[in-house]
Copies of this chain bind each other. A is one copy, B any other.
């Protein structure tokens, strides 16, 4: 019952450690030690650290992206207009509902956030590649949900939305600590709805460029 392959144990350990400490701060030795495997094994199954990172990601992201597109298909098949909330939910729900339950969503959520904010060129490239199709579909869906929104604003707000999703998941423990335990982070459903409500309101906010004509308090900019 408990026989998980060495390859999977390495993937599991890598996922956990990358989520906890980031990519640059996690060595292959730490991973193989945690996995009860030998340092050479990671090079036998994967060729390099970079390839291992890719594998850790794809393992979760491929089914998540599949589920995202399914949910979007369902929404669109319904025929009638989409709400921003529905589109946003279709995007995040598959992350929160990972097969490992809450524990899994915490781990992979942190991992996604780390990857999104990692400075490495390779990581952002992988991240964007892996999300390319999903991105196109969801941008179109939001455009259909808010046809009056100019494209430039849509991109800005999408940028903000991704920031909320990514940083919220990586920083949940910090939120709990800073709030002195006031914030309950144990129910992924509540986390999802809080994020969606905040972001959807931001999407509906009126254009901000008018305000920017105020006195330029930043001399030189």
Q: A152 an interface residue at 8 Å Cβ cutoff?
A: yes
| Residue ID in chain B nearest A102 by CB atoms | B221
Residues of B within 8 A of A77 (CB): none
Q: A155 an interface residue at 8 Å Cβ cutoff?
A: yes
Do B117 and A170 touch across chains, with their CB atoms under 8 A apart? yes
Residues of B within 8 A of A30 (CB): none
Do A117 and B117 touch across chains, with their CB atoms under 8 A apart? yes
Interface of A, secondary structure class, is helix
Q: A60 an interface residue at 8 Å Cβ cutoff?
A: no
Do A198 and B189 touch across chains, with their CB atoms under 8 A apart? no
Chain A residues touching B, range: 35 or more
Residues of B within 8 A of A155 (CB): 175, 178-179, 182-183
Contacts A24-B22, A211-B197 given; indicate if A218 touches B183 (C-beta within 8 A): no
Q: Which chain A residues (106-154) contact chain B, with CB distance < 8 Å?
A: 113-114, 116-120, 124, 128, 135, 151-152
Do B117 and A113 touch across chains, with their CB atoms under 8 A apart? yes
In Å, the complex CA distance between A174 and B115 comes to 14
Q: A29 an interface residue at 8 Å Cβ cutoff?
A: no
Q: Which chain A residues (179-198) contact chain B, with CB distance < 8 Å?
A: 179, 182-184, 187-190, 192-198
Residues of B within 8 A of A199 (CB): 160, 202
Do A156 and B174 touch across chains, with their CB atoms under 8 A apart? no
In Å, the complex CA distance between A114 and B24 comes to 13
Residues of B within 8 A of A212 (CB): 187, 189-190, 192-193
Q: A96 an interface residue at 8 Å Cβ cutoff?
A: yes
21 sampled A-B residue pairs with Cβ under 8 A? A20-B119, A22-B118, A22-B119, A22-B120, A101-B220, A101-B221, A114-B117, A117-B167, A124-B174, A152-B179, A155-B182, A156-B175, A157-B198, A160-B164, A163-B164, A187-B212, A187-B221, A196-B208, A197-B206, A197-B207, A201-B204
